[in-house]
Structure 1
Amino acid sequence: MSSSSSDVVTAPTPSAPAPSRALPNGLAAFLVFFASGAVLVLETVSLRLVGPYVGVTLQVTSSVIGIALAAIAYGAWTGGWLADRRDPRGLLAPALILAGIAAAVTLPVVRYAGELLRGGAVSGILLLTALAVFVPAALLSAVTPLVVKLQLADLRRTGQVVGRLSGIGTLGGITATLVTGFVLVAALPSTVILIGLAAALGVAGLALGVYLRRQEATGLPGPARMKATLAVLGLVAAGLSAVAPNPCDVETAYHCARVERDPSRDGGRTLYLNSAQHSYVDLNDPTHLEYEYTQWIGAVADVSAPKGQRLDALHLGGGGFTMPRYLSATRPGTDNVVFEIDGELVELDRRELGVRTGPGLRAEVGDARMLVGGEPANSRDLVVGDAFGHLVVPWHLATREMAAEVDRVLRPGGIYVQNVIDYPPGRFIRSELATVAAEFDHVALVAPPEAIAGQQGSNFLIVASDAPLPLDALRTRLGAVAKIPDMVAGSEVTRFVDGALVLTDDYAPVDQLLATA
């Protein structure tokens, strides 16, 4: 028996949801460019937000980059997941507005949390950078897959659409990185950049919502309760940002800086960079050296030449210009040249610390490693290395090649003194001492006995020369300071170094050597 075609029963095919209308190509490109660029602005600015609390080290930089990449990954993943389940046109505007609110909230959250997480603990660094970056970056990273979903009306053009929008997003990130690093950071405080970004995201989200609502019944979440909630969140974010504690008097291109008066000393001023005590000066007495390590440097300077004899001195790092003042006061006629990377810090020193450049004191703004290469050979009697990024000597100023440049600039018999900070187990100071000793024939180390024994963190002063050092005179002079340090010299240096790594431009893991774990 045969059956006719009329006997075949065909199951009804479920109707597919109507595809969402694509955005105009220009609007789609703008949204991807803008959202991707905003992520990179957040990443760049967040490094400056967390710096006053956890420093600006390789670990901090790596954490910011890693957290930002994690936010991009999870945001894109979530955005793609949502795009397959809901109409992307109804999600784009809220994503931008919520990202703006999250960016505004970031400022007070980081400043309040930073006070609790202050220091360099890895857990604190990761948590603070996550608070600074993750939420707004994840929301912004969801925009691209939402836009891509809307533009995929023709599957034959999938590769073209995805490739074009991906390229536009990358260009947005590149543009934002360059504009933020070269223009915005130099012109505006981080607070202004962040609040400006939050406002731009909010305005863009509102404008997009209005546009989409006019096109069709979608856009911003419709219920008045949702709109009121977003408005309240925005006002709360703005209020918290206004009252959040600000650790800076001045935000320079490199530092969060402030100057505080010493209530116990009429002319005393303390310069804080990224919330760490960096320099102390007495406006009424330039010979007053408050910190122990500055007293040690002063002692070296005092015995480097007959009393009162002028010197040609080069200072790598300016800070509060404590040592140039001291040399000018104790050795009239001394020529001090200061290499300071932060020009705005020099201006702050002029305004609040009484620095007066001119004959006998010149400040050259730029990276010390670059500038020292332009110094004439055999031109300086004393070189003082006191440059830090937070509490860390910048790695390119700690290598053998840098020590060789200093040696070239020094006259025969000239002395190099370098300030170093390290903590138990003291891996960095051993390596840095070994590095300087690889270029100079005579080296010594000055530090508190407990620090040399590896029992506490401290400043260490490396003293180096190609001629025999005036060790006896230096011991006598150090015996006059309030807390007498120990000095390691001769064969004791070899035992202290104990085969430590010599740092070079090719391999200088300074941050890893400084890790206390």
Structure 2
Amino acid sequence: MTPPSSPPVADLPAPGRGLGPRAAAVLVFASSAAVLVVEIVALRLLAPYLGLTLETSTLVIGIALSAIALGSWLGGRLADQVDPHPLISPALGVSGVVVALTPLLLRTTAEWAPPLLLLVAAATLLVPGALLSAVTPLVTKLRLTSLAQTGTVVGRLSGVGTFGAIVGTVLTGFVLVSRLPVSAILIGLGVLLVIGAALAGWQARRWRRASAVALATVVVGSLATAFAPGGCDAETRYHCARIVADPDRASGRTLVLDGLRHSYVDVEDPTYLRFGYIRALAAVVDTAFPAGTPLSAHHLGGGGLTFPRYLASTRPDTRSLVSEIDGGVVRIDRERLALGKTTGIDVRVEDGRLGLKRQAADSRDLVVGDAFGGVSVPWHLTTSEALRDVRRVLKDDGVYAANLIDHGPLAFARAQAATLASVFEHVALVGRPGDIGLDPAAGVEGGNLVVVASDRPLDAPAVQEALDTRETDWRIATGAAVAAWTGDAQVLTDDYAPVDQLLQPHRTRTVR
């Protein structure tokens, strides 16, 4: 019996006008790269309002992947029903308009209609993401003219698209964000997409329509740059930063990061401490060490460098090493906050935990943790492994003091206290009486509190006297009071540290 012969390989009719292999590769590469640029920059735009947290990142990634899936499905379906060629230009053009509008839409919504922020953010990710992702199946259909080359065409364009996504990711993370404001990145990308739409429209004989879209995008981009709220003096790798002068104190400056008052610096008088938690840190340190004695200190997080300046002024010859991850903030310290006037401060642009690992054992009298913000927390500095490294760096009588920010039931702060208690012999809390359990009737206000840990006991009455002298209503809790306040809170480890989840239900934009 003769087996049936295989059907001959047939050629597929080319829909519409053809598309050359180079043009196809450029379209797929550029559209895939643009999707990732928008995704990464969206995280930067949302961070001042939602925090740079695990939840925010998950949300943005989830929406971006949904857009890619929707666009791929929709583009493939349309490509089989109509001529794909005329669809490419509108997909690029509309994407460009939405991308250019994104800074204006998100910042305006965040300022004037916060409840709608997530909805608007989802739309500004979904629309361009889906349209740009639809380009690949549209282009693929135009290139599929023979069944014999199906695998080659699909595989090549899939590889080109993936490579484009990689280039978009690397270019944004390592180059664009460090050199350009996020609004400029998105407006520039929008203009490039519209130019691409114009070129594709010209090839499809729709030049006038594409040119009108290009003109509209340029106008909208200019308006977005001029009128979008949330302007920054500088956009660093991690923050939107501003310096605000104190109208009541000529030499006073406030460093605002992502809309939150992060540091207050008196450029003429480093001993003037405005924020309550800084006064609490000063009370603890001035009590723990003899007055005027120079210290060797390591600061995890710098901000405006208020406390290192204070130590340099009140304890001459103190050597402070500061690990600050954001080089843009360090530049602002030098250019706008008179860092050059202060000696004894060595600032390194590095991650705080990596900076700790580089320090010799028993080399520091004091480690200060001040890397936590109101809407984001570097969780890897909160774990028992990180705190054991702090203990390794400290001398036998050394002290670790950290500023914490929490709200609601203070679940994160309690977990941090429990983690410290698993590493150090003595843990103390400094904060408002209601927040640290000393006055239950006062209720929990939330906000800042200072946690102190050491292998030697602190002189609590002396610390309280120093707090009272500094005109603060904060109090200190030690021993059994801290244990009762901490309760059965979990110990944070590198393997399990759900810091964002502990904070998220009560995360707020309350300033320090």
Relative to the length of structure 1, the TM-score reads 0.90
Candidates 34, 59, 62, aligned match of 1:63: 59
Whether 2:455 is the aligned partner of 1:466: answer: yes
Aligned to 2:8: none
Aligned to 1:9: none
Aligned to 2:440: none
Q: How does 1:47-446 map to 2 (within 5 A)?
A: 47-116=43-112, 126-210=118-202, 212=203, 218-220=204-206, 228=212, 231-232=215-216, 234-356=218-340, 359-388=343-372, 391-446=375-430
Distance 1:336 1:320 in 2: 14
Output one character per residue of 1:284-322: Cα deviation in whole Å (capped at 9) or x when no partner. 221111111111001011112111111111111110010
Q: Structure 1 361/147 Cα, relative in aligned 2: closer, same or farther at 3 Å?
A: same
Does the Cα contact within 8 Å between 2:309 and 2:342 map onto a contact in 1? Answer: no
The CA deviation at 1:378 is 0.9
Does the Cα contact within 8 Å between 2:295 and 2:366 map onto a contact in 1? Answer: yes
The one-letter code matched in structure 2 to 1:435 is T
Q: Report the more deviating stretch, 255-264 or 163-172.
A: 163-172
Aligned to 2:496: 507
Q: How does 1:473-484 map to 2 (within 5 A)?
A: 473-484=462-473
Q: Structure 1 41/228 Cα, relative in aligned 2: closer, same or farther at 3 Å?
A: closer
Distance 1:379 1:93 in 2: 63
Distance 2:214 2:337 in 1: 46
Which ranges of structure 2 fall in alignment gaps of 5 or more residues? 1-11, 438-442, 507-512
Q: Structure 1 240/93 Cα, relative in aligned 2: closer, same or farther at 3 Å?
A: same
Which ranges of structure 1 fall in alignment gaps of 5 or more residues? 1-15, 213-217
Q: Structure 1 219/62 Cα, relative in aligned 2: closer, same or farther at 3 Å?
A: farther
Computing the radius of gyration from Cα coordinates, the structure with the larger value is 1
The CA deviation at 1:156 is 3.6
Helix, strand or coil for the counterpart of 2:81?
Answer: coil
Q: Structure 1 371/264 Cα, relative in aligned 2: closer, same or farther at 3 Å?
A: same
Q: Structure 1 151/84 Cα, relative in aligned 2: closer, same or farther at 3 Å?
A: same
Helix, strand or coil for the counterpart of 2:435?
Answer: helix
Q: Report the more deviating stretch, 484-493 or 287-296.
A: 484-493
Output one character per residue of 1:252-285: Cα deviation in whole Å (capped at 9) or x when no partner. 1111100001111121111000111100011222
Distance 2:165 2:210 in 1: 31
Distance 2:111 2:372 in 1: 22
The one-letter code matched in structure 2 to 1:198 is G
Helix, strand or coil for the counterpart of 1:515?
Answer: helix
The CA deviation at 1:50 is 1.6
Q: Report the more deviating stretch, 149-158 or 403-412.
A: 149-158
Output one character per residue of 1:100-128: Cα deviation in whole Å (capped at 9) or x when no partner. 1111111211121121355xxxx666335
The one-letter code matched in structure 2 to 1:90 is P
Aligned to 1:28: 24
Helix, strand or coil for the counterpart of 2:388?
Answer: helix
Relative to the length of structure 2, the TM-score reads 0.91
Identity %, equivalent residues: 48
Output one character per residue of 1:162-186: Cα deviation in whole Å (capped at 9) or x when no partner. 2221121111101110111111112
Output one character per residue of 1:436-490: Cα deviation in whole Å (capped at 9) or x when no partner. 1111000011111232356222112110101111222112111223332132211
Q: Structure 1 227/174 Cα, relative in aligned 2: closer, same or farther at 3 Å?
A: closer
Does the Cα contact within 8 Å between 1:50 and 1:128 map onto a contact in 2? Answer: no
